[in-house]
Structure 1
Amino acid sequence: MTPAAPARRFYKIVDVVATDTGFAVRLDGATPKTPGKNPLILPNEASARLVAAEWDAQDKVIDPFTMPITRLVNVGLDRGEATREAMVAEVVKYAGTDLVCYRVTTPDSLVAAQAKAWDPLLDWARAELGVALRTTPGALAIDQPETAMTAIAIAAQALPTLKLTALAFATGIAGSALVAFALIAGRIDGETAFKAIRVEEDWQAERWGRDPDEAHLANARRLDLIAVEKLALALDAPSHPVPKKTSGSA
């Protein structure tokens, strides 16, 4: 089957306006719809402008792969409320086998690299979320404390829908609920989150080089984590009472 041709950019002006339910992204004065037919309206101005910037950055054709924040917002608007419990459960599941809890025992340089990247996240989660996870050597499976799993669930459930969507998305990419929580809380940025989930890969690459194909796939994960960082920061930003136009002619 021949792939569908990419949609051509059909609009000239991208802007953001306040509505009764939030801040709407507009293309030539009309608010686009998500795949689920919901209007592209964000809870605050900063997040709407972030999405608007992705639309405005499109050239002659619209490439969804260059719009990671819009794609994430679409998921949140279309399915976030209906899947809240499932997203919370998924985050808790990942926390039960969290990447940062499984440590190598040799060589010493990799042991130290994991400790440097991951111990501050464990300390932060214990202090800020009340989540105390156990670590284990190698791939030996462990059961995490029920109190920690409950605290993870409470912290996830307390998030607004779009931030919960971002958390669940980042958790799946990272293989770590703690990395994802630290990312959406602003404790770490997207680049740091990416490095945290690539400790062993980077350690190996420093010694034997990088595989170009693997590096390409890894970079896609890096860009997704940066998108989560930007969306989380924008969702936390205050809105101004008088929105201003974000862009001009294409």
Structure 2
Amino acid sequence: MTTPTLPRRFYKTVDIAPVETGFAVRLDKATPKTPAKKPLVLPTEAAARLVADEWEAQTETIDPFAMPVTRLVNVALDRAGETRHAMVGEIVKYAGTDLVCYRATTPASLVAAQAAAWDPLLQWAEAQLGVQLVTTTQALAIDQPADALARIEAAAHALDDLRLTALAFANGLAGSAIVALALIHRHIDGETAFRAIRVEEDWQAERWGRDPDEEKIANARRVDLIAAERLVSAL
């Protein structure tokens, strides 16, 4: 497979500036556009600075995969308004088969590791969102309470476009609406979210070692979860 050629860095300076709708990222004093040609403007100075720092970190070429916050912002600005219903629907779909609800029966050490990582998240969801999901040790999918899924849907719809995009992104990475919601509501950080979705993999690695290729893929997921956390924390 041919590696795509990255565009060369075409700008010398990066800064941010206040504008009527928030804070604009600027390259050589001009505001860049998203893929859909919308100005790269964020609602807070801190969020604009995060994006600006990613542009500044580019060297001779521009690598979009090294700019996870910028990618999230582009999606939020370009697509969240039009695809909000679909994004929320996908989050609810994941909640119906949420990772944290499917538990091992043996060995005892894995059962304990899952409980330690996941039970507090379910308790938080019940206390803060009124969401009470059912756990199981069955391999087959179970039906979750309609009220719980409706509450998750309402919680997602209540978010602005940037936070909803971060939630949908984290949801897909985690395979868990509960982990994603805890992250977006800043109950946990990106590293904790990553460890929560890696309970079984970490348990196996402690016994049989880690696979370098798999670890590389996992680390990319970790970076993206931390990016979602950083964006939400800056809003």
What is the TM-score of this pair, normalised by structure 2?
0.98
CA distance in 1, matches of 2:6, 2:96: 41
Q: CA, structure 1 residues 232+86, in 2 after alignment: closer, same or farther (shift >3 Å)?
A: same
Superposed displacement of residue 140, structure 1: 3.0
CA distance in 2, matches of 1:2, 1:96: 39
4+ residue runs over 4 A deviation: 1-4
| SS of structure 2 residue aligned to 1:24 | strand
CA distance in 1, matches of 2:161, 2:183: 16
CA distance in 1, matches of 2:17, 2:98: 41
2:106 aligned partner: 106
Superposed displacement of residue 5, structure 1: 2.5
1:199 aligned partner: 199
Q: Deviations over 1:55-94 (max 9, x none)?
A: 0111111111110000111111110100000011010000
CA distance in 2, matches of 1:23, 1:194: 30
Let me know the Cα RMSD of the aligned residues.
1.1
Unaligned runs of 5+ in 2: none
Superposed displacement of residue 129, structure 1: 0.7
2:212 aligned partner: 212
2:217 alignment partner AA: L
CA distance in 1, matches of 2:145, 2:63: 44
Say whether the 8 Å CA contact 1:133–1:145 is kept in structure 2: yes
1:8 alignment partner AA: R
Say whether the 8 Å CA contact 1:105–1:138 is kept in structure 2: no
Task: Map 1:1-250; keep pairs closer than 5 Å.
Answer: 4-235=4-235
2:56 alignment partner AA: D
Unaligned runs of 5+ in 1: 236-250
CA distance in 2, matches of 1:46, 1:12: 22
Q: Deviations over 1:148-196 (max 9, x none)?
A: 0110000000000010000001000100000000011111111110000
Which structure would you say has the larger RCO, counting Cα contacts within 8 Å and 6 or more residues apart? 1
Q: Which has the higher helix share?
A: 2
CA distance in 2, matches of 1:191, 1:50: 18
Superposed displacement of residue 138, structure 1: 3.5
Q: CA, structure 1 residues 209+55, in 2 after alignment: closer, same or farther (shift >3 Å)?
A: same
